[in-house]
Amino acid sequence: MKFHSDDYFHIGHEHVVAGKPCQDYALSGLSGGVAYATVSDGCSTGGNTDVGARLVALSAAKAIHTLGDAVTGPKRDYAVEAIVFHQQTILNEVKTLLSVTRNDMLATCLYAVVSERGGFVHVRGDGVVAFVKRNGSILLHRFDWANNTPFYPEYLNDDVSSFVEAHGGVEDAHALTEEKWLLTNNECKHISTTTHSIAHGMGGMLIDINQEVVKNELAYVAVFTDGVEAVDGMDWKEAAAHLLDFKNTAGVFAKRRMIRFVTKEATARGVGPSDDIAYAAIRVEHESQGGAP
């Protein structure tokens, strides 16, 4: 079994016409036997969150490299806590060195890690997570905070009361919605809709990836910023499915797929992505597949 990863991000139409930078970022790679994929979405009303999104993604990747194979060990909760700790330590040091402000760091953090021992996805903010099985089915998780006010990990560095207040002032209040959809043979089935408390959402949403699923079923796992939900004239589930329809899995498979999506498929419906969009994917190559595209 081998793992491959790739990523890409693209500036949205609204940012192009407004003269703003792309505030989404994506990063992926391999660390020993662990593959990782991470994306970050900077707040459009924050500071220099294009910088913040990059720092968030880079620090998550560095934390994963630091932990190595222990990331996908049996103690998932410990691995998540360790990644968060290392990431925050790195970010606090970098912020001091570069004089980066709190408002610059208002960015989400979604990442997936996979190895032969299994893996998980950790969602801190909003966005979409996709699992593609070898039979072609796609399971989608969409995370959406109420009032268009997602949680940013930077909030944990100071008093989170203002964030809680923006959602009604009670940490037990449910403000994070998780939708699950299954796409099979051009059919789209709604599986469930669950609401989570503010406190739960601030801790991050964890999706476990079982070792047997990796070994026998999983073809891809991907994480998207919420820009996948803002493609002109296209439902978010359709947009995600397009971006997961890899024609060639060699080399920069995600970059190649998004470029074609943006320049051909999405623009055929309108202006394409109206918001910045980023995604990162891990491909699981099973022994029966060999190395062929």
Query: What confidence score (pLDDT) does residue 293 get?
Result: 38
- Residues 274-285: what's their mean pLDDT? 97
Answer yes or no: are the C-beta atoms of 217 and 133 closer than 8 Å.
Answer: yes
To which H or E segment does residue 191 belong?
strand 187-197
Buried-exposed string 135-155: b where 16+ CB fall within 10 A, e elsewhere: eebbbbbbbbbbeeebbbbbb
Q: Residue 151: pLDDT above 90?
A: yes
Cα–Cα distance for residue pair 84/87, rounded to 1 Å: 5
Give how far Cα 79 sits from Cα of 75, 192, 290, Å. Answer: 6, 28, 31
107 closest CA partner among 63, 47, 189, 28: 47
For residue 288, pLDDT over 80 is answered with: no
pLDDT at residue number 266: 93
Q: What is the pLDDT of residues 43-99, one digit of tens each?
A: 998 999 999 999 999 999 999 999 888 888 777 888 999 999 999 999 999 999 999
pLDDT on residue 163 = 92
Q: If you average pLDDT over residues 246-253, what whole number do you get?
A: 94
Per CATH, the homologous superfamily of domain 2-287 is PPM-type phosphatase domain (3.60.40.10)
| Per-residue H/E/C for 101-170 | CCHHHCECEEEEEEECCEEEEEEECCEEEEEEECCCCEEEEEEEEHHHCCCCHHHHHCCCHHHHHHCCCC
Looking at residue 80, what is its pLDDT? 93
Q: Residue 143 — very low, low, confident or very high, per pLDDT cuts 50/70/90?
A: very high
Model pLDDT, residue 76: 80
Write down the H helix ranges in 22-114: 49-67, 76-98
pLDDT above 90: residue 114: yes
> Does 290 score more than 80 pLDDT?
no
Q: Which residues pair with 197 in a beta bridge?
A: 174
Evaluate if residue 212 carries a pLDDT over 90: yes
Q: Would you state the pLDDT for residue 206?
A: 96
Position 131 pLDDT exceeds 50: yes
Residue type, 188: C
Is residue 102 scored above 80 in pLDDT? Answer: yes
Q: State the average pLDDT over residues 219-229.
A: 98
Is the pTM higher than 0.75? The answer reads: yes
The tens digit of pLDDT for each residue in 158-185 reads 778 889 998 988 989 999 999 999 999 8
- pLDDT-derived band at 292 (thresholds 50, 70, 90) equals very low
- Measured between alpha carbons, how far apart are the two ends of the chain, in Å? 15
What mean pLDDT is predicted for residues 204-225? Answer: 96
Angle at 210 (CA atoms; ends 209, 214), nearest 5 degrees? 85
The proportion of the chain whose per-residue pLDDT surpasses 70, expressed as a percent, equals 98
The residue written with tokens 């970059």 in the block is 255
